[in-house]
Amino acid sequence: MVKTPISSTPKVSKVEGIKERSNHLREPLATQLLEDTTHFSEDAIQILKFHGSYQQDNRDNRVQGHEKDYQFMLRTRSPGGFIPAQLYLTLDRLSDEYGNQTMRVTTRQGFQLHGILKKEPQSNPKHHYTEYGIDLGRLRRHQSQRYGSARPL
């Protein structure tokens, strides 16, 4: 009988390794946001996904021999499917200001904003919430009240 040595450390997948080196899902995104490029590296793309954003190539604008036309899609979540009117209006304004003026509703109770460019001015989302008069605490309380047990006691 042949005995194979048992490793004491489990093998970590490529994505798990990227997450471990990312300084709590910050790097290399934070560094690459400051660079004057149109896209992120492969490692940064993996971290970007954990923040609800995805790097895409605009196939409609492809030209042979040129760099791909990169853009980003931002996905939001709305637990319980409740979207206050102010939040909807804020998302609509963000899609106009930073995206391609489209907002898509998903089958998983969320929205997608497409056409966001990396070179757009980096802004703090909380700025937009306060600018448009949205009380984040009230939204969180309201959304937490929407949860309930699937099997009431």
Place of tokens 């979540």: 77
Quote the pLDDT of residue 36: 87
Quote the pLDDT of residue 133: 45
Instruction: Decide: pTM greater than 0.85.
Output: no
Q: Which secondary structure element, helix H or strand E, spans residue 115, and what is its range?
A: strand 111-116
Quote the pLDDT of residue 146: 45
Residue 18: exposed, middle, or buried by beta-carbon count in 10 A (0-12, 13-18, 19+)?
buried
Q: List per-block mean pLDDT (blocks of 10 residues) for the chain, which spans 153 residues.
A: 72 90 89 89 91 85 80 84 86 90 88 85 50 46 45 50
Quote the pLDDT of residue 9: 75
Quote the pLDDT of residue 134: 46
